Structure formats: C-alpha cells, structure tokens
Amino acid sequence: MPTQSPAFSAQSASSPLAHASIPRRDPGPRDVQIDILFCGVCHSDLHTARGEWPGVVFPVVPGHEIVGRVVRVGRDVADFKAGDLAAVGCMVDSCKACPNCAAGLEQYCDKEVTFTYNSPDRAFTTPPAATPPMTYGGYSKSIVVDRRFVLRVSPKLNLAAVAPLLCAGITTYSPLKHWGAGTGTKVGIVGLGGLGHMGVKFSHALGAETILFTTSPGKADDAKRLGADAVVLSRDEAQMKPHAGTFDLIINTVAVPHDLDQYTGLLKRDGTLCLVGAPSSPHPSPSIWNLLTKRRTIAGSMIGGIPETQEMLDFCAERGIVSDIELIPIQQINAAYDRMLRSDVRYRFVIDMASLS
C-alpha cells in the first residue's frame, strides 16, 4: 500500500505552490526509501510548476536536487542501509538496457528516462499501470527510488549546499569532463547563475584557466572569489576582442535566446561551444562561417549519467566543493521563484525540508 507524504504542489499553472499530501510507493526489492532533508530549487522547477513547458501534468511536485537519509531499503539492496546519507538528482528510472543506459549515460536513454518529477511513473505499480501516475519530486518529506538512481553523499560536506550539485553541479561538471577541461586548457563559462557558479568552481578545480562571461558588472568580484581568473563583460566588444580564437571550451548556461556568434568566434581551432541552457524560443541561427573556418563545434549536454554524478559527488567531497546557497523554509518557495526570475539569488535556493510537517 502506498504511504502518504507531506509535500508542496502546484495544482495548476496559475496556482502558487501549497501544502499537499502525495502517495509514495512501498519500497520494492531494489528500492531505497529516503527521508528528504534538503531540496535545491532549479529553474526547471519553476518552468514546470507554472506550466511553461509542454506536457506538464498537474498537480506538480517539483524538486530534483535531493539530499536525505535512508529509512528503509528493499531486500535486494545490499549497499545502502537505514541511516545512510543519500541523494537523488533529475532521474529516478530509465530502461536500463539500451546502449546508453549500458554505458551509464541514462540521461540519454533511447527508450524513456523517468525524470524525478512530471514523468509517467512506470515503477509506481507492478506491473506498470496502463496510464501510470506522474512522478513527484523532492518538495516532499519522503521519496522512494530504485537503488540504481540513488547516490552516495559524504557527511564531510554541508548537506544543504550539496543539494544543487545534483542538477546544477552535474550539468556543468559533465561537459567540462567530456571536453577535457583541465590544466593547460582555457575554459569560458557564460552566465553566473546556479549553473554558471558551479561551472566556474569546477573549471577552476580541474585546473583550467577559467574566464567568466557576464552582462552584470556587479558579479565580477564574486566570480573571482568562486575561482574565475578573469571576468569579461560580454556586451563590451573591447573586452571580448582580445579573447578571439583562444578558448578550448565555452560552457554557455544562458537560457534566453542570444547571439552565439560572439562565443563561437572566441574558440580555437576544434574548440567547442557547449550549450547547457534551454531557451524557450530558439537562438538566432549561428554563423556557419565562424564554424567552418576553424572546424569549431556547437554542442549540447544534458545533466550527467549516474556513474558520473557519483564521480562528481566524490570529487566534491575530496575537494570540499559545494554550491553557494540561500536556505529557505518551504513556505517561502513562491517568493523564491519570483526572486529567481529577477536573478536575485546567490546562487541557489535550497529548501530546508524540516520546515515541512
């Protein structure tokens, strides 16, 4: 029998998030039941709760940056036990059999990724229902997740500040690793928000020369504190020009349509501009000339697979890396969304789930 968990949900695109009660399945043999301690607040939460993305099914319980404590495990789970710390990110299931799942890149599953919220929840009943209920995310007291999608967290780190690593962290870590950011490389990070501030921290920690591009002069000092070697105002051509043709990799976190040519022109031969922000309408078509004259690439990347997410969490534990956060009670979530829309957060809100009872 499913149990009920307190949660915060949006009943419609126009209703604010409010207290609710949601069902959680009984842990099956391979499941881990987690009491949620902290949940980060991602822009995806806001877009989904406000029905701004296609296919949103209400009610919505957002939240995919989850850190908590294990309370119960299924009989086939040998490597987690009650009392352990655990984390869950953007995915809670996938087909587990296709070549991408076999490669530990579940986010690119050829069949169907079950995202942590607002995805058909094929695991809710066995066998799966013809019309499965939707998954509910981390703005709740409790969650039940297949062991394969549960991550280990070091008790050495500030657990509230670990939460954003599960989306903002891995979304920037994965492309930095894939395109070889490290000593001797020059990496640009575009935008200093939730994703960008983690991009700066990781790029610096990996040893790359790290340049932050921003439109806000006020963020320069903070960017340097976070690990940027230099800050460039992207609207100032005189500051952009000396960097032409010098970057190995630029990670672009900006999720509003803008001119990509100003960044492709900064890449070296074979350099890559990797987009990790998804604007709701397309960027202007980029200049092909910029690409072919130096064999440059425009690429995209989405979160990271479970093995790489664990690698990132271990790297963070070893290097003492966490997110810069503002901890809020869940009752402030609607106000927090409004502040996020004004970019008025440094750099991620995290909900203290003790406030939800």
Query: Is the Cβ–Cβ distance between 100 and 43 less than 8 Å?
Result: no
- Least CB distance to Zn ion at residue 95 (A): 3
Three-class secondary structure of residue 196 per DSSP: helix
- Residue 15 has phi, psi (to 5 degrees) of -95, 140
CB under 5 A: which stretch of 167-175, 251-259, 284-292, 342-350 binds Zn ion? 167-175
What are the distances in angstroms from CA 337 to CA 124, 265, 342? Answer: 29, 35, 9
Which residues within the stretch 3-42 sit at the binding site for Zn ion (CB under 5 A)?
42
- Least CB distance to Zn ion at residue 161 (A): 16
Which of 167/231 has CB closer to Zn ion? Answer: 167
DSSP class of residue 140? B
Helices (H), 91-167: 99-102, 159-162
Q: Is there binding between residue 95 and Zn ion (CB under 5 A)?
A: yes
For the record, the structure tokens of 230 come out as 């230099």
Q: Is there binding between residue 109 and Zn ion (CB under 5 A)?
A: yes
DSSP class of residue 295? T
How many residues lie near Zn ion (CB under 5 A)? Answer: 9
Which residues are within 8 A (CB) of 329 and not within 5 positions of it... i.e. 6 or more apart?
351, 352, 355
The DSSP line for 332-344 is: GHHHHHHHHHTT-
Q: Is there binding between residue 98 and Zn ion (CB under 5 A)?
A: yes
Selected from 94, 114, 252, 310, the binder of Zn ion by CB under 5 A is 94
Q: Strand (E) positions, 10-154? A: 18-24, 31-40, 66-73, 85-88, 91-93, 114-115, 142-146
- Least CB distance to Zn ion at residue 127 (A): 19
CA proximity to 144, closest of 193, 210, 71: 71
Which of 67/211 has CB closer to Zn ion? Answer: 67
Instruction: Give me the 124-163 binding string for Zn ion, x by CB under 5 A, dash otherwise.
Output: ----------------------------------------
Instruction: Give me the 46-85 binding string for Zn ion, x by CB under 5 A, dash otherwise.
Output: ----------------------------------------
Q: Is there binding between residue 44 and Zn ion (CB under 5 A)?
A: yes
CB under 5 A: which stretch of 108-116, 197-205, 279-287, 320-328 binds Zn ion? 108-116
- Least CB distance to Zn ion at residue 105 (A): 9
Q: How far is CA 123 from the centre of its chain?
A: 23
Q: Is there binding between residue 350 and Zn ion (CB under 5 A)?
A: no
- Least CB distance to Zn ion at residue 120 (A): 15
Give the span between the Cα atoms of 340 and 348, in whole angstroms. Answer: 9
Q: How many CB atoms lie within 10 A of CB 189?
A: 32
CB under 5 A: which stretch of 87-95, 230-238, 253-261, 319-327 binds Zn ion? 87-95
- Least CB distance to Zn ion at residue 238 (A): 35
- Least CB distance to Zn ion at residue 315 (A): 19
Residues that bind Zn ion (CB under 5 A): 42, 44, 94-95, 98, 101, 109, 111, 167
